[in-house]
Amino acid sequence: MRGWSSRNLKYMAYFAEHCPNSQFGQQPAAQLPWFHVVTLLTKLDSSHEREWYALQTLEHGWSRTTLELNIKNKLLIRQGAAVSNFEKRLATPHASLAHQTLKDPYFFDFLGLGNDAHEREIEDGLIRHMTRFLLELGSGFAFVGRQFRLEVAGDEFFIDLLFYHTRLKCYIVVELKANAFKPEHAGQLNFYLAAVDAQIKAADDKPTIGLLLCKKQNRLVAEYALSGIEKPIGIAEYQLLRDLPESLERSLPSIAEIEAELAEDSIIIEQILSDNEDE
């Protein structure tokens, strides 16, 4: 055969070396396109991690770009890491699937917002970047609405974000908090879930699930808060900004250096304008 590049030949040799004998056809990676396989080989060192990401790619139909993004964002570590009370509030098969649907933390760095952003700013940003938001939430989430209105005994209440999950067959209420988790947040979300179950959920829908996204949470406090909550709720952190690698951070100028550079540039510009006026 002809036409193989030297790089592809190296990938093939590497793949043959790391694929156990007689198991090629049985491995999930064998069912993926070649460049998905190359991504698994070059981005991951552990056979366990390769196997997990290969299975997820087959199950959810990830593109190569989505696979690379999920590897970069360490989805394996975050998947199913949220604090929840699903085991006590949902039926066994449904509880396990619901738990694996949530992650901790969620990465919202695509919004371009600082850590001091307010809840409405975060919500607006998530709506503007709905495609990226749905990708971070995971497969199966269908957007229903924002500031979704509920009326209870003549009073109005507004849910931050409402989704329907096509695999879990249930509504998911997402509440955003721009501060650290407080036990009373769980009580508020429990009320919203009760209202959705009573007013919106169809007879064949599963119980509505709540996802509380907060800037910071103490796992023990969250577990205590959920222990007495009737409705199924998961609590996870979100990150608007992620720490830069130390090597990159050292190479970037400090704020003082940037300000000094701008001040120097300003003096130069003023001098040029002054010279032009004199001419």
Q: What percent of the chain has pLDDT over 70?
A: 82
The pLDDT tens digits of the residues spanning 85-105 come to: 999 999 988 999 999 999 999
What's residue 38's pLDDT?
A: 87
CA angle 6, 14, 11 (to 5 degrees): 35
Residue 176 CB contacts under 8 Å (≥ 6 apart), including other chains? 119, 122, 123, 160, 161, 213, 214, 238
Q: What are the chain's domains?
A: 6-72 (no CATH), 78-239 (3.40.1350.10)
Q: Could you give the CA distance from residue 76 to residue 52 in angstroms, rounded to a whole number?
A: 8
Could you count the other beta carbons within 10 Å of the beta carbon of residue 14?
13
Check whether 229 has a pLDDT greater than 80: yes
What's residue 16's pLDDT?
A: 72
Preceding amide of 105 cis, omega within 30: yes
What's residue 255's pLDDT?
A: 47
Q: Side-chain half-sphere of 256: how many Cα atoms within 13 Å?
A: 0
- Across the range 1-6, mean pLDDT stands at 75
> What stretches of the chain show up as alpha helix (H) in DSSP?
6-18, 34-43, 47-60, 64-72, 75-78, 86-89, 92-101, 119-128, 130-137, 183-199, 219-227, 246-251, 255-278
- The mean pLDDT value of the chain amounts to 85
The pLDDT tens digits of the residues spanning 177-201 come to: 999 999 999 999 999 999 999 999 9
Check whether 140 has a pLDDT greater than 90: yes
Top pLDDT among 262 and 64 is at 64
Residue 277 CB contacts under 8 Å (≥ 6 apart), including other chains? none
Check whether 43 has a pLDDT greater than 80: yes
Stretch among 18-22, 63-67, 138-142, 154-158 having the lowest mean pLDDT: 18-22
